[in-house]
Amino acid sequence: MGESTKSSNLMILGIVLAVLTFWLFAQSMINIIPAIQKELGVSLGTLNIATSLTSLFSGLFIVAAGGLSDRFGRKKLTYIGLSLSILGCLLIIISQSATLLVIGRVVQGISAACIMPSTIALIKSAFKGADRQRALSYWSFGSWGGGGITILVGGAIATYMGWRWIFVFSIIIALISMYLIKNIKESKADTKEYAKFDFVGFSIFIIMMLLINIIVTRGQDFGWTSPLTIILICGAILSIVIFFAVELKKKNQFIEFSLFKTKAYTGAVVSNFLQNGIAATVVVSTMYIQIARGFTPFQTGLLTIGNVIAVVVMIRVGERMLQKMGARKPMLIATSLAAIGMSMTAMTFLPDTAYIIVVFTGFLISGIGLGMYATPSIDIAVVNIADDKVGVASGIYKMASSLGYSFGIAIATSTFSVILTFSSIHLAATVGILVNLIFAIPALLVVARFIQPNEGSETFIAAETKTSVIKN
């Protein structure tokens, strides 16, 4: 192995470990809710909020972080993100009540907002063509692969060592990542003139997202027809109207809407939001398996082994499918498989043995879909974006991931909680899991509408390059 190749591989490993601090360790919360509730005595509603807060705050701050990485340096923002990850983990480790737990989860979300767009932009600047697609596949091992293995790893640690150890290991991984990326060349946009940050748009966006999240997660507790809920709904609608009214008139926008003039980018971002909504319904599956079927967190994690293997294997398969047939076909197949697999875990009427077999198979099929989707989606999102905008574009793309996952958790767990108040846990879990179809059907329509046939394939890129040369 040449020195250059070894150095590149270490860089990629460091980046993957940085991504794992969120997708593997921070997301382990989805499988340790019963354990935390038992030790801290925190209500299920509060824990549902704490679980979704990391993804929510990641989504809220990720576009701003992407823009900052373009301006001040992608490596610098990655280091800031890893430092915040360590701080968030420390707060969770020492928490004895809901307060520090919630604050720690918020800090973890801001950490992820710094890490994800910065690391994608570092890859975009360091690799080209097939090498870029390979590097993005490994990045996807950290995100989609980490998300797939989080239930197993988090469950094993929580069962045999205690749930706090999850965040101890996360700190260790963050420190190793810092060491491995120390020799990476800094990357930032070349432009000398930077637009002023849109604090007004950013503030309105935060208010808008928080109001929507509170409505989804606490609407049942407040009462759907209570004056407070009605005020929150009116506030959310008003903030949405104000956000678009203010932002569309500005030259320098918080969310750069000009990026969405590229149809493929729009398709990748929107479908990414919806695909993560599908994946997030797994939180109801894991809660149901532990509460109703009596499984430990580790036993629950064992059911996801097929999902983990499928995700890891299919990420590289998705890369090859992208190169051979473009992004559209694998993204359509992937979304369908993810929805089918997740829906299989809703068969709560089955007896224990049959249900375990069906759940294992469902997680496996879902993993095939999630892994196949990863590389085509992220490559299509960044390949046509100018280098000076790739941080912002990556931020928006990953904002879609985080918000999709956050709202997927919020909607699925809220549906579960609402039905549980008047019916059995089995029916509550079934409906909560089938919420994934609310995300799956629009995702298929978006990919079919916005991604061109063969776009992203080797032949498509070659033809596009040839056309560009002729025009020039």
In three state form, how does the secondary structure of the chain look?
CCHHHHHHHHHHHHHHHHHHHHHHHHHHHHHCHHHHHHHHCCCHHHHHHHHHHHHHHHHHHHHHHHHHHHHHCHHHHHHHHHHHHHHHHHHHHHCCCHHHHHHHHHHHHHHHHHHHHHHHHHHHHHCCHHHHHHHHHHHHHHHHHHHHHHHHHHHHHHHHCCCCHHHHHHHHHHHHHHHHCCCCCCCCCCCCCCCCCCHHHHHHHHHHHHHHHHHHHHHHHHCCCCHHHHHHHHHHHHHHHHHHHHHCCCCCCCCCHHHHHCHHHHHHHHHHHHHHHHHHCHHHHHHHHHHCCCCCHHHHHHCCHHHHHHHHHHHHHHHHHHHHHCCHHHHHHHHHHHHHHHHHCCCCCCCHHHHHHHHHHHHHHHHHHHHHHHHHHHHHHHCCCCHHHHHHHHHHHHHHHHHHHHHHHHHHHHHHHHHHCCCCHHHHHHHHHHCHHHHHHHHHHHHHHHCCCCCCCHHHHHHHHHHHHHHC
pLDDT on residue 363: 92
Report the alpha-carbon angle 341-403-62, nearest 5: 130
Residues 142/15, Cβ–Cβ less than 8 Å: yes
Tell me the pLDDT of the chain averaged across its residues. Answer: 85
Residues 28/164, Cβ–Cβ less than 8 Å: no
Over residues 54-71, mean pLDDT: 81
Instruction: Identify the band that residue 146 occupies on the pLDDT scale cut at 50, 70 and 90.
Output: confident
CA 409 to CA 287: how far, in whole Å? 12
Range with lowest mean pLDDT among 35-44, 128-137, 353-362: 128-137
CA 435 to CA 422: how far, in whole Å? 18
pLDDT on residue 461: 55
CA 109 to CA 254: how far, in whole Å? 19
**Backbone dihedral angles phi then psi of residue 223, each to the nearest 5 degrees:** 100, 125
pLDDT on residue 251: 76
Q: What residues have CB less than 8 Å from 361, skipping those under 6 apart?
A: 306, 341, 344
Instruction: Identify the band that residue 67 occupies on the pLDDT scale cut at 50, 70 and 90.
Output: confident
CA 472 to CA 370: how far, in whole Å? 39
Q: How many CA atoms lie within 13 A of 239 on its CB side?
A: 19
pLDDT on residue 205: 84
Q: pLDDT > 70: what percent of the chain? A: 92
Q: How many CA atoms lie within 13 A of 332 on its CB side?
A: 15
Q: How many CA atoms lie within 13 A of 159 on its CB side?
A: 16
Q: What residues have CB less than 8 Å from 256, skipping those under 6 apart?
A: 389, 392, 393, 396
Give the count of beta carbons closer than 10 Å to the beta carbon of residue 265.
22
Res. 188: pLDDT tops 80 = no
pLDDT on residue 76: 92
CA 243 to CA 189: how far, in whole Å? 27
Report the alpha-carbon angle 12-16-17, nearest 5: 120
Res. 52: pLDDT tops 80 = no
Tokens 């499984």 sit at which residue?
295
Res. 468: pLDDT tops 80 = no
pLDDT tens, residue by residue, 105-120: 999 999 998 998 889 8
Fold of 3-182+199-450: Growth Hormone; Chain: A; (1.20.1250)
Q: pLDDT > 90: what percent of the chain? A: 33
pLDDT on residue 343: 95
Q: What's the token pair of residue 235?
A: 């506030």
The most confident of 254-258, 401-405, 410-414, by mean pLDDT: 410-414
Res. 472: pLDDT tops 50 = no
Q: Indicate the domain borders of the chain.
A: 3-182+199-450
Over residues 252-278, mean pLDDT: 86
